[in-house]
Amino acid sequence: MKIRGQRECTDCGARWSYYDTGSVECPDCGSLRSVGVEEDRHLHTDSPAELDLTEPREAVDARPLREVADTASDLAREYVRKRGFVRGGDLQRLDDTYLAAQELRHAADVVGRGLDLSDDEEWYFLALLRGADVDPETNPDADRRPAPGEVPEAMHPIRGLAYAEAVAEYRRDLADWADENEVGDEGRDALETLGDHVKRVQALDGDVDADTAELLVSAARDVGEYLRAGDADALASARERFGRIA
């Protein structure tokens, strides 16, 4: 939606950025009576959100794994629901935390259904739980999500479907941003091709190898970089990756 980012409280006069808080509540006095004070409205789809998996991680040794998975799924689902990729008119990157939340949500749903899990599948879920809320840029030594070659074959569809859904949501925001910014034919062609690949993976219920899922995400990031910065190298990279997606 398009909104005015700067708001002013009609009770105390304080001003703040809706883009930063995601709320019309005054941060100074708590009043809900505020007005937008900018003349222009900007496309905005993102809301402040934090993925904190401390509770389910601490419960691993104390509660049944199904209950741990249900809690993790709820937290990841709520995080995904709040997130978007346009902030105050500025296009954002498809970030690792969003991908991790999507993947954890799908893996947790499988565990939560109580199906018989192999040791590899249980390890995969617990590895996601340990690393999904880790930012590799700020905490490079912490546990991370499994690399493509580490994902058990039985869980390839989980990663494939999670990544396809993440890219689908990202592409939706890219398309809306493109409409607002008069993107040319090359950018729109790239968006269409990206959408075709997403639909294919979704039609397969995510049943593609982990390297293919990784290529899809990398291509989506390339398309985003081209739209945001007009980077011709990023567009060429996206096209090369499209050609390699099996």
- Which pLDDT score is estimated for 139? 62
**Tokens linked to 62:** 């104390």
- Which pLDDT score is estimated for 138? 59
Q: Is the pLDDT of residue 134 over 80?
A: no
- Which pLDDT score is estimated for 117? 82
Question: What is the value of pTM for the model shown?
Answer: 0.90
Torsion angle of the four alpha carbons 61, 65, 69, 70, in this order, in degrees rounded to the nearest 10: -110
**Residue 27: CA count within 13 A, CB half-sphere:** 10
Burial label for 38, CB within 10 Å (0-12, 13-18, 19+), is middle
- Which pLDDT score is estimated for 105? 95
Task: Identify which has the larger pLDDT, 3 or 25.
Answer: 25
Q: Is the pLDDT of residue 142 over 60?
A: no
CA-to-CA dists, residue 169 to 60, 63, 102, 134, 163, angstroms: 31, 33, 11, 21, 10
Three-class SS state of 86: strand
- Which pLDDT score is estimated for 172? 98
Residue 91 near residue 85, CB atoms below 8 Å: yes
Three-class SS state of 9: strand
The stretch 14-20 carries a mean pLDDT of 87
Q: Is the pLDDT of residue 136 over 70?
A: no
| Strand partners for 35 | 8
The 3-class SS string of 136-176 reads: CCCCCCCCCCCCHHHCCHHHHHHHHHHHHHHHHHHHHHHHH
Torsion angles phi and psi, residue 62, rounded to 5: -115, -20
- Which pLDDT score is estimated for 143? 62
Q: How many CB atoms lie within 10 A of CB 184?
A: 10
